[in-house]
Every structure is written in C-alpha cells, then in structure tokens.
Amino acid sequence: MAEPDLRLPSVNAFSEADVHFMRLALAEARVAGDAGEVPVGAVVVKSNAERGDELLGIGHNAPIALNDPSAHAETLAIRRAAETARNYRLTGCTLYVTLEPCVMCAGLIVLARMERLVFAARDIRFGAVRSKFTLADSELLNHRVVVQEGLLAADAAALLSAFFEARRD
C-alpha cells in the first residue's frame, strides 16, 4: 500500500467557495464554544453545475447539550444534509469541518459516500483521517473520499486553544 501524501495543499488549492464554507464552519464552532462545547463546526455542501453550491447541512458539537456522545459537528451536519437531500447517500458533497474527524465521524463520512472532506486543523490525539489513521481514503474500504487539510487551520486551532485555556483557568 502506498504511503499517503501528507503534504499540505497550497493555499491556491482552495477556492473562494472553500474559504466561504470553512468560515461558516468556524462560525458554528464559535456557537459550540459559547455553549460550553468543544468548538468544532461542520458544513455539508452539494456541488451542482446548474444551481451552484447548495448548503445542505450545518452543525456544531453538542454532545453535552443533547446528552449524546455521537453529537459531533460532522454527525449533526451530515444528518441534516441527508434529511435535506432526502437521501442517505451524499454523493457529490463536500464536508467542511474545523477539526480533523475522529474514527466515528470518518466512518460516517465514508458511509455517506461524501466526495470530499476539507478540514482545518489536525487532531493529533484522535484524528482518524491523517493524524492517527487514514480511514477516509483507505484502500481497504469500498469508497474513498478526497481529503484536503489546512484551510484556515490557524483560526480553528486558535479557537480550540482559547477554549481549553479558559477551561484550565
């Protein structure tokens, strides 16, 4: 099996739309942080040649508020997107998320048949897409997701750092 290419894409690898949707995910992350949840936000977008990009689902971390350990930003955004699309398959969709997905979320991204994942900051403790595992684009699975990382990573990392610093004080 070939080693994954872990080099970050250049800034030019991201479109203006990518920046826009990651900013929406960062806004959701702030909502989570303000609610006392780990500040992670996610947005699902369907690319459509005729209608342009269509926002299908948005979410932020809410396991505390919902008493649900699966209520990660990605999970909630994907659930809402599937409801909007009226389909459990989200082909042609991109998930924008402020933190590298965990094992549960990476599995969900593959099961939903997402086309692309764009995440901001790596999660060196639990990241299942690049940091600990490469689940989303593993050759062992029947679906591979295109993975891009690093878009607005400094902004996402700053949100997380400030949140955890405040909790330590």
Q: What Å distances lie between residue 32 and 28, 38, 60, 89, 103, CA to CA?
A: 6, 6, 6, 27, 20
On whether the CB atoms of residues 131 and 123 are closer than 8 A, the answer is yes
On whether the CB atoms of residues 120 and 48 are closer than 8 A, the answer is no
Has 28 been annotated as catalytic?
A: no
Question: What is the distance between the alpha carbons of residues 51 and 37, in angstroms, rounded to a whole number?
Answer: 35
58 forms bridges with which residues in the sheet?
43
Q: Which one from 74, 83, 100, 115 is the annotated catalytic residue?
A: 74
What residues act catalytically?
74
